[in-house]
Amino acid sequence: MSPRLAHADDATEDICKTIGQGISLHIDGTYGGYPFSVLREAVLGGVACPSSALQVQAFETIAAPPPHMRITVKRPLEQGRQGTISAMLYAQGRFVIGERMSLSFFSRTQSPSSVKADINLVTTNLWNDLAARVTHNKPIIPQ
């Protein structure tokens, strides 16, 4: 029996349970041929939840029913090649906000556990951008 390689998975994880009813997280992608379970653990270990007062305020406006987040990590098999991370947030059946960034040099050359910092950065940016909608009096869910 060979280990399952990282790819799209139909399972979801419940995260950020201390804020409202939490978030349903779907993880998919590939990470240089590593098993999906290793990628999954790295993503779960790096996800940032809303924490500042403005982030929580923005999140609470979309918290029921619990929103859905999709994080996709793509790193080619060839070590050192450019890879990407994207995080997209959906609520009430609609796209809310997304962030995308290139993997850091460290993440492009190391095992999946090294991607935790990149995951944390992309999800922190997502929450900061969502909170900025509150400060700019913009709708949390775009029209």
pTM: 0.88
Residue 143 lies in a domain: no
CATH of the domain at 63: 3.40.50
Residue found by looking up tokens 């859905």 in the block = 68
Residue 101 lies in a domain: yes
Residue 79 lies in a domain: yes
Residues above pLDDT 70, as percent of the chain: 90
Residue 91 lies in a domain: yes
Across the range 32-61, mean pLDDT stands at 94
Residue 93 lies in a domain: yes
Other Cβ atoms within 10 Å of 57 Cβ, number = 15
Looking at per-residue pLDDT, the higher value among 1 and 23 belongs to 23
For the beta sheet containing 23-31, the strands, ordered from the edge strand earlier in sequence to the opposite edge, are 12-15, 23-31, 68-75, 84-91, 94-102
Residue 99 lies in a domain: yes
Full domain range(s) for residue 89: 12-135
Q: What is the mean pLDDT of the chain?
A: 88
DSSP 143: -
Residue 17 lies in a domain: yes
Residue 110 lies in a domain: yes
Residues above pLDDT 90, as percent of the chain: 69
Q: How far apart are CA 9 and CA 26, in angstroms?
A: 8
> In sequence order, what are the beta bridge partners of 72?
28, 86
- The four Cα atoms 28, 114, 123, 60 give a dihedral, to 10 degrees, of 90
Domain tally for the chain? Answer: 1
Read off the pLDDT of residues 62-105 as tens digits, 9 standing for 90 and up.
999 999 999 999 988 775 568 999 999 999 999 999 999 999 88
